[in-house]
Amino acid sequence: MIIALLQLHQRPKSLLLLVISLLIQPFTWPSQSEGADYALIENVPYRDKSSEGWDDYMDKRCRLDLYYPEQSKGFATVVWFHGGGLRGGKKSIPPALKNQGIAVIAANYRLFPKVKCPAYIEDATAAVAWTFRNITKYGGNADQIFISGHSAGGYLTSMVGLDKNYLAAHDIDANRIAGLVPLSGHTITHFTPREEKGIPGEQPIIDRFAPLYHVRRDAPALILITGDRELELLGRYEENAYLARMMKVAKHTHTKLYELDGFNHGTMRDPALKLLLQVIKNHHRSPPLP
């Protein structure tokens, strides 16, 4: 399937379709994935009794699944966060990311209304911190950790990577992340934290719980992907376009925005995962980002 991707700087009025022909074929790294066996370890706790706010709910939700190529070394890893509006959903390994020579960590996190902001951001951060501390034990490269997720998971992706304070609490520099690839994520403050404060969903807010609040030049590579602006959730493409523009204004040199023409908020996920794999492949072949 050929996917038409529209880049921000290529679409003021006239449309120039970027045909990503590399997405037609399944993505593989032959040196790592051909004949490789994959292991799946489920329900690994990434928090423990020493964590602030520890209770049965944290014990239940703060767990992750690890899928990785057993016979490989130095592979990249994607930490994947599910969607669901920060109030639903559960972890799963996206089929499109399996058998690709990479590890995938799918993490649950606590949900509204049982917790409120920033608990779910802190959980997502703890899952990323677990990955940095542990992926080398399974053969992965801690300098090749990518963060991604769809919808609410995309929001968590951006918050963990752009607001350095969250990972700093785990003594980890957020700039060690190889790339942030949020799929159709809020860049303003998410509608769930807004609801917690009694703010209507139609009223956009940019506070410290908005990725846009944390625009910075030295951030990891940022690849923003949305569905078609006419088919997406209210304003979702425009939010991402604004973040992309402001990152460029801040002189961040590794920001890209893709709009998947013809795909809505839900259907954009699978084609976007193919682009995520291409991002990882290109990073693997390129010198490390400054």
- The 10s digit of each residue's pLDDT in 168-202 is 999 999 999 999 999 999 999 999 999 999 999 89
Position 285 scores a pLDDT of 56
Mean pLDDT for 60-75 is: 97
Residue with tokens 């990434």: 46
Which residue type is seen at 144? Q
Residue 10 has pLDDT above 60, yes or no: no
Position 290 in a domain: no
More confident residue, 288 or 29: 288
Domain assignment present for 215: yes
Strand spans (E) along the chain: 4-7, 18-19, 38-45, 63-69, 75-81, 103-107, 140-150, 179-183, 221-227, 255-260
Query: How much is the pLDDT for 36?
Result: 58
How confident is the model over 3-14, as a mean pLDDT?
39
CA 229 to chain centre: 20
What distance lies between CA 85 and its chain's CA centroid?
15
Q: Is the pLDDT of residue 2 over 50?
A: no
Give CA 13 to chain center in angstroms.
29
Q: Which residues pair with 80 in a beta bridge?
A: 106, 148
Cα 249 to Cα 120, 181, 206, 233, 283: the distances in Å are 30, 20, 17, 26, 23
**Closest to 146 measured CA to CA, from 132, 163, 126, 164:** 132
The answer to the question of residue 199 being in a domain is: yes
pLDDT at 1: 40
Q: How many domains does the chain have?
A: 1
Mean pLDDT of 116-133: 98
* Among the listed residues 6, 2, 11, 32, the one whose alpha carbon sits nearest the alpha carbon of residue 280: 32
pLDDT at 245 over 70: yes
Confidence of residue 4 (pLDDT cuts 50, 70, 90): very low
Whether residue 93 lies inside any domain: the answer is: yes
Phi, then psi, of 92 in degrees rounded to 5: -165, 150
* Cα–Cα separations (whole angstroms), residue 143 to 201, 202, 240: 38, 39, 26
- Is residue 172, in this structure, part of any structural domain at all? yes
Question: Residue 3: pLDDT above 90?
Answer: no
Q: Which domain holds residue 108?
A: 4-285
Q: What single-letter amino acid sits at 2?
A: I
User: Is the model's pLDDT at 290 over the cut of 50?
Assistant: no
Residue 23: pLDDT band by 50, 70, 90 thresholds?
Answer: very low
In a domain? residue 123: yes
* 156 found inside a domain: yes
> 127 φ, ψ to 5°?
-65, -40
Residue 44: C-alpha distances to residues 77, 127, 166, 246 (Å)? 16, 10, 21, 38
Amino acid at 35: G
Q: Read off the pTM.
A: 0.88
**pLDDT by residue (tens digit) across 206-238?**
999 999 999 999 999 999 999 999 999 999 999
* Residues pairing with 105 in the sheet: 66, 79
| The pLDDT of residue 283 | 85
| More confident of the two residues 175 and 29 | 175
Q: What is the CATH number of the domain that holds 259?
A: 3.40.50.1820
Asked whether residue 237 is assigned to any structural domain, the reply reads yes
